[in-house]
Amino acid sequence: MAAAIEAHGLIKHFGRTRALNGIDLTVQEGRVLGVLGPNGAGKTTAVRILATLLKPDGGTAVVSGLDVVHQATAVRRTIGLTGQFASVDEDLTGTQNLVMIGQLLGLSTRQARARASELLAEFDLTDAAGRLAKTYSGGMRRRLDLSASLIGRPSVVFLDEPTTGLDPAKRDDVWEMIRALVRQGTTILLTTQYLEEADALANEITVIDHGTIIAHDTPRGLKRQVGGQTLEVRPTDVASLPRVRELLIRYGTREPDQPAPDLLSVPVTDESALTTVVAALAAERISVSELSLRLPSLDEVFYSLTGQPKNDQTQNDQTQIDQTQNDQTRNGAAA
């Protein structure tokens, strides 16, 4: 199997800021790579370099076997790009947008029209085809943008935070479309701020922060690294928090976090922890108003991988103590 995307040591500066500090990315043909990181981590910069919109200051990148700097035009024939902000022309209708891009890709007017109506149907936009894009809802605009990226039947598609700002139902729609692309054999590089999204779609996940790769693994491996799922408990009575904390220390993998004054959360290794905790809470007669199991948030992923919260916020003493304890726990586990 050949690599559809292969980048080595990508470096990019913007003035004095180093947006990318030597990044390696490889995606095999027909696979999906999720690039996970917070705002400003360098995700978009990496995508823009791979999609030939930016020139790297250092390193090399090859997409579909073509160099992104020296063979940029040839690369552009094989890729599709959907940016973070939908880049369609608001003053054109859905059809006009797609026909224009089809023509720019070298299709005849007739071919471009045929391809446009095909994609509009596929993305459930046929009814809105004649309406100006500015009247579209956020979800429709995203779908139009995605279909615009697919007109030239690209073999490599870059999706830069394709679901940011969409409500959960619309997000599921976009996920379904991405899965359909994968079934057709398209190689996808997807950036996201949600582990859940990367987990749902990607074969492999690269976590980046401050322009550096801090982890690369399969979703399963990464979840193992960051402590699998997170259990959250909100007791009805705040006074029972200390008892809940003790209980969570017993069943969790580390000292619980306190994301809200009345809420405790702790990573757990497997889903059976939920039943165990429910039984223990019942035995201790602690009533809870909320109890849930979810994948770690980006903050928690970063916390687990780096021992640092992703933002440099001022921390109170308690979290610092927690952090030190956490470091010790992890060091102990590693040894």
- Report the nearest approach of other proteins to the CB of residue 230 (Å): 35
Six-digit token string for 271: 């889903």
For 228, phi then psi, to 5°, come to 55, -130
- Using CA atoms, how far residue 261 sits from 119, 204, 233, 241, 265, in Å, is 49, 36, 12, 9, 11
In the block, residue with structure tokens 């165990």 = 276
Six-digit token string for 116: 């446009």
CB nearer other proteins, residue 104 or residue 278: 104
CB nearer other proteins, residue 52 or residue 265: 52
Six-digit token string for 247: 């209980």
- DSSP line for 45-113: HHHHHHTTSS--SEEEEEETTEETTTTHHHHHHHEEEE-SS----TTSBHHHHHHHHHHHTT--HHHHH
- Report the nearest approach of other proteins to the CB of residue 27 (Å): 18
CB nearer other proteins, residue 91 or residue 172: 91
- Report the nearest approach of other proteins to the CB of residue 10 (Å): 18
- Report the nearest approach of other proteins to the CB of residue 97 (Å): 9
- Report the nearest approach of other proteins to the CB of residue 237 (Å): 50
Residue 74 burial (CB count, 10 A): 15
CB nearer other proteins, residue 189 or residue 231: 189
Site of interaction with other proteins (CB under 8 A): 51-53, 73-74, 76-77, 79-81, 83, 85-92, 96, 100-101, 103-106, 132, 148
CB nearer other proteins, residue 94 or residue 227: 94
